[in-house]
């Protein structure tokens, strides 16, 4: 009853697709299409009486709700409900649902929780450095300490070479250096925490001795994250949404900032037939749930950056839709948004380039196109993306 999924319904095709899945009367489109800048939320299945009460409460508050066309005659045992309107009107509708039967009070609380998120923070302080978010994105440089990364594994043979590459990315414009010791390419196998620590800690210490640039540790394991933070890292970058036991508590205890990513499955199996009905909505729902877990562990929402997980259990068209809806994801979660598109296979799909190392031009182009949508861009080749974004923003007069 309490399940609520936010939806980015920004085109007639998306509206009509959801209406058809609900079993709505398409004549409702005549009133829906007049609405602008609405918040849209899809509830879990409810009984026809509950759907009718919910619809009337929203209409009375100036919002609306779409239900299956047979609800009035109880011709279906249950229906999902598409609630839409301004946040203010939906909130008023939820107030009138408190105390109603059929579990509608709990559903109203779930809806209110989603539409009541704060504005994303203007800045984030990490390790004594303030990251200021503005009209253009910040850059995160990818620093792999792995022999088998999908795009640059084994290119740097020693910790010293890796440290120098990280510092060079900072000189080129990276505001954060993301250090990882385990490959997460599709089909990859996990390695032990001891091996990860042996790979990343010397590099983190080496960078920290020479620079105060913020460092993130790309890991799913609390042992690795703890060792990295002790070595000088400031941010935990978790591709599994901080689901590994102990990770939320570690972030809460240390005050580390968190990058919270969505992944369907594991790196080993994530690309085995991933399917979504509505990828942005399902991923936003997941991220909101994980934000709630982190907040309960003592992590301030203002210290969380969300990442939809481009290429991690997504089809090419899912990735493109997720990029289009990045501003909506920011509004929906109340968090700043990171885009990790660099050298990903979907870029190879749309540019017909099978070699990851030759996808930097496509990465830079997408960086420029995403300049007004993402708050941070995670890239391997920093200089080219910085130049592309700078040119795009100057051309747009920003």
Query: What are the residue numbers of the active site?
Result: 344, 378
Structure tokens at 246: 């102990």
Helix axes 326-333, 279-296, angle to 10 degrees: 30
Rounded to whole angstroms, the Cα distance separating 395 from 398 reads 8
Length of the chain: 398
Report how far residue 320's alpha carbon sits from residue 272's, in angstroms, rounded to the nearest whole number: 19
| Cα first-last separation, the chain | 45
Residue pair 242/293 in contact (Cβ under 8 Å)? The answer is yes
DSSP letter string, 94-159 = HHHHTT-TTTHHHHHHHHHHHHTPPPPPSEEEETTEEEE--SS-EEEEEEE--SS-TTTTTS--SH
Q: Please give the C-alpha separations between residue 170 and each of 173, 183, 200, 210, 234, in angstroms, as whole numbers.
A: 5, 22, 18, 11, 15
d(CA 112, CA 106): 10
Residues 138 and 376: beta-carbon distance below 8 Å: yes
Q: How many CB atoms lie within 10 A of CB 149?
A: 21
Residue 164, both tokens? 């120098």
* Interior angle at CA 297, CA 292 and CA 301, nearest 5: 50
Question: Side-chain half-sphere of 167: how many Cα atoms within 13 Å?
Answer: 16
CB proximity list for 387: less than 8 A, separation 6 or greater = 364
Q: Give yes or no for a contact between 9 and 284, defined as CB atoms under 8 angstroms apart.
A: no
């Amino acid at each position: 009853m309490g399940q609520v999924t936010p939806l980015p319904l920004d085109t007639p095709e998306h509206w009509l697709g959801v209406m058809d899945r609900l079993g709505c009367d398409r004549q409702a489109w005549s009133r829906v299409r007049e609405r602008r800048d609405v918040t849209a939320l899809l509830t879990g299945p409810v009984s026809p009486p509950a759907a009718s009460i919910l619809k009337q409460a929203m209409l009375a508050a100036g919002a609306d709700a779409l239900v299956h066309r047979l609800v009035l005659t109880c011709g279906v045992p249950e229906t999902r409900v598409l609630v839409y309107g301004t946040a203010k009107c939906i909130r008023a509708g939820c107030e009138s649902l408190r105390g109603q039967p059929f579990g509608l009070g709990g559903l109203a609380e779930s809806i209110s929780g989603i539409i009541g998120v704060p504005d994303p923070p203007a800045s984030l302080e990490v390790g004594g450095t303030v990251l200021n978010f503005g009209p253009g994105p910040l850059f995160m440089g990818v620093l792999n300490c792995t022999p088998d990364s999908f795009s640059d594994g084994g290119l740097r043979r020693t910790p010293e070479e890796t440290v120098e590459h990280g510092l060079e990315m900072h000189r080129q414009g990276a505001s954060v250096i993301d250090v990882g010791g385990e490959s997460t390419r599709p089909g990859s196998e996990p390695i032990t925490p001891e091996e990860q620590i042996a790979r990343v800690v010397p590099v983190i210490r080496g960078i920290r001795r020479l620079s105060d640039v913020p460092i993130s540790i790309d890991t799913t394991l609390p042992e690795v994250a703890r060792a990295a933070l002790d070595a000088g890292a400031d941010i935990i970058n978790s591709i599994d949404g901080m689901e590994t036991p102990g990770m939320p508590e570690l972030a809460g205890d240390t005050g580390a900032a968190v990058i919270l990513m969505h992944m369907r499955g594991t790196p080993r199996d994530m690309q085995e037939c991933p399917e979504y009905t509505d990828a942005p909505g399902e991923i936003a729902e997941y991220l909101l749930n994980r934000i709630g877990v982190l907040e309960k562990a003592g992590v301030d929402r203002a210290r969380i950056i969300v990442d939809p997980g481009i290429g991690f259990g997504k089809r090419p068209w899912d990735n493109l839709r997720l990029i289009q809806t990045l501003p909506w994801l920011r509004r929906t979660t109340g968090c700043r948004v990171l885009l990790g598109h660099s050298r990903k296979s979907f870029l190879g799909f749309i540019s017909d380039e099978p070699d990851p190392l030759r996808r930097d031009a496509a990465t830079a182009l997408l960086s420029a196109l995403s300049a007004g949508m993402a708050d941070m861009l995670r890239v391997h080749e920093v200089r080219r993306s910085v130049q592309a974004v700078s040119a795009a923003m100057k051309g747009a007069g920003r």
